[in-house]
Amino acid sequence: MTAGPSTDSALRHVLAHLLTPLLMCIGMGLAYLGAFHAPAPHDLRVDVVGSGPSAQVLAQTLQDKGAGALDVRTVADRATAVTSLREQGSFGAYVPGEKPELIVASGSSDTSAMAVEKVFTKVAAAQDAPLKVTDVAPVASGDPTGQGIFFLLVALSIGAYASVAVIGGAGAALPMKIRALLAAAMSLVVSLIGALFAGPAFHLVDQGLGGVWAMSWLYAAGILLVGVGLHTFLRRWTTLGVMVLFVMLNFTSSGGIYRPELQPGFFGALHAFWNGAGFVEGVRSHVYFGGHALGGHVLVLTLWFLAGAALVVAAGIVEARRGHASKAGEMTTPTAGERTRAAAGEKARFAEGMEEETEEEMEEAVAV
């Protein structure tokens, strides 16, 4: 038996849509393996406390042996080193002596603190002295690994971009104003869920929950507005587009697992302006470092929000023009009967296409 026309059509349809999961597979592999498969320090800023010749020699030796892994400087005293750590200007400070001490701030990044501790444990061992480790910005009791903020970012992101699939797909026939209001409402709901996770549910933060909620809302609203705006232009490719922006490039550059000092340069560059990094570093600054440099991180989130708002406005203008063009085309139809039949056929085709497109978007979103 040979395949009939309906079978051939269905097979072509399936093959065409298999392109999306293939692109997802390639994209996720390149992003996650490229960012996380071999973390290694480069230009990781550390301090050696002391101004004498021995401190200078130790700093230079570490700099030379590190071959680019460390950026070592000397500071005059312990207080200066602690201030630098609390302002996230360094990731470790070594106080040499008979009882050597390593000062870290795990709230900045637990993995960076571990990398620094590994280096200076060897230094202390060479002097046959046990190393005392002091943490001047410890993580919250409910987040012992310091990575809970990253997983909060994941939850907020999934809630936001899955909502994009619903609003853009199932709500495509709604006016843009209503879709924008739905996006705003969903961002509020998602952010409240995030605050519940961060505070009462898992105690990821011990203080500043109000600020965490505010940044959660700004982050989720930015994703939703960008996604809803993009849907007008990308249609069924919106899910893939949003995944690239807010999963593949976003999670890997956020600094939630490894800071840019432990990653390849591409992801370190994205860390400077991507919205996930703005959220993770903003929460760290707010909760662990007294709000130092918080304004810059909030600015990043705000710019993404404004970009989303601009996309929604642009999409609304484009849809309005499409609507005017459609009405103008209807006016040139020869007879009322033909207009009625054409409109009915077009409506049926549109409904069928939208239903199929919505199902595809929802399936892709659920699969992700």
Task: Return d(Cα 230, Cα 241) in angstroms, integer.
Answer: 8
| 42 close to 60: Cβ distance less than 8 angstroms | no
pLDDT at position 168 over 80: yes
Q: What is the mean pLDDT of the chain?
A: 88
Q: Give me the pLDDT at residue 12, please.
A: 80
Residues 38-82: tens digit of each pLDDT: 999 999 999 999 988 999 999 999 999 888 899 999 999 999 999
- Count, residues in the chain: 368
Q: Give me the pLDDT at residue 173, please.
A: 85
Closest CA to 285 of 223, 207, 198, 222: 207
Residue 73, classified by CB atoms within 10 Å of its CB into exposed (0-12), middle (13-18) or buried (19+), is: middle
Q: Give me the pLDDT at residue 5, please.
A: 63
- Share above pLDDT 90 across residues of the chain, in percent, rounded to a whole number: 73
Nearby residues of 161 by Cβ (< 8 Å), 6 or more positions away: 223, 227, 239, 242, 243, 246, 247, 365
- Share above pLDDT 70 across residues of the chain, in percent, rounded to a whole number: 88
Q: Give me the pLDDT at residue 169, please.
A: 79
Q: What is the pLDDT averaged over residues 300-322?
A: 95
pTM, to two decimals: 0.87
Q: What is the pLDDT averaged over residues 71-94?
A: 95
Q: Give me the pLDDT at residue 329, please.
A: 66
Residues 114-136: tens digit of each pLDDT: 999 999 999 999 888 899 999 99
**Which pair of tokens denotes residue 3?**
């395949």
Task: Return d(Cα 131, Cα 96) in angstroms, integer.
Answer: 10
Q: Give me the pLDDT at residue 31, please.
A: 94
Q: What is the pLDDT averaged over residues 251-276?
A: 95
| 315 close to 232: Cβ distance less than 8 angstroms | yes
Closest CA to 271 of 71, 140, 109: 109
Q: Give me the pLDDT at residue 354, please.
A: 47
Q: Give me the pLDDT at residue 366, please.
A: 44
